[in-house]
């Protein structure tokens, strides 16, 4: 499997939920073909370098992922068919330092998410015998 970076420019007139749906379609296709998504960044609406399909702005989305090469052909087919996509580009990452940084950040993110989930699911421990609960201030009637 290879590491890839995909930048998608979407129609600037789309609602946020339509942008999310389009991004989910792309992510779903990558995962269905055995890929793994490391990072999704929404850069927001930005001015285009030149006018595309009578648009001067576009919603920029960045995806970093790992997948088999056959997935790229499917991504290109999807990107040509989906209306909100104005422009797209897929680049194969070959710089070993970039790839190592992506893999490391993905493992760090997964570790952070696991730690957060552990703390949210851990029950509060009851006060042990001999421990005194902290005093609560009494409310004074005015």
pLDDT in tens, 73-89: 999 998 888 888 999 99
Q: Let me know: does 109 contact 21? Beta carbons within 8 Å.
A: no
Q: SS3 breakdown of the chain: % helix, strand, coil, rounded to 5?
A: 40, 35, 25
Domain membership flag for residue 137: no
Looking only at the bridges linking them, the beta strands covering 36-52 and 55-67 are antiparallel
The pLDDT value given to residue 96: 76
Other beta carbons within 10 angstroms of residue 100's beta carbon come to: 11
Total-model pTM: 0.68
Mean local confidence (pLDDT), 30-58: 91
What range does the domain containing 43 cover?
Answer: 2-112
- The three-class DSSP label of residue 23 is helix
Q: Domain containing 99 — which CATH number?
A: 3.30.70.60
Structure tokens at 64: 């970093």
Cα separation, 65 vs 59, in Å, equals 20
Work out how many domains the chain is built from and give that number: 1
pLDDT digits (tens, 9 = 90+) for 55-112: 999 999 999 999 999 999 999 998 888 888 999 999 998 877 777 777 777 677 667 7
User: What pLDDT score was predicted for residue 130?
Assistant: 56
């Amino acid at each position: 499997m290879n590491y890839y970076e995909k930048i998608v420019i979407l129609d600037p007139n789309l609602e946020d939920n339509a942008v999310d749906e389009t991004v989910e379609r792309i992510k779903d296709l990558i995962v269905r073909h055995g890929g793994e998504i490391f990072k999704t960044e929404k850069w927001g609406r930005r001015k285009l370098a030149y006018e595309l399909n009578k648009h001067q702005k576009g919603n920029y989305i960045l995806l970093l992922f790992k997948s088999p090469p056959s997935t790229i052909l499917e991504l290109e087919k999807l990107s040509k068919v989906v209306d909100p996509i104005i422009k797209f580009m897929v680049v194969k990452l070959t710089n070993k330092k970039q790839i190592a940084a992506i893999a490391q950040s993905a493992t760090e993110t997964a570790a952070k998410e696991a730690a957060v989930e552990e703390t949210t699911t851990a029950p509060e421990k009851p006060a042990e015998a001999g421990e005194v609960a902290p005093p609560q201030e009494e409310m004074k009637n005015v």
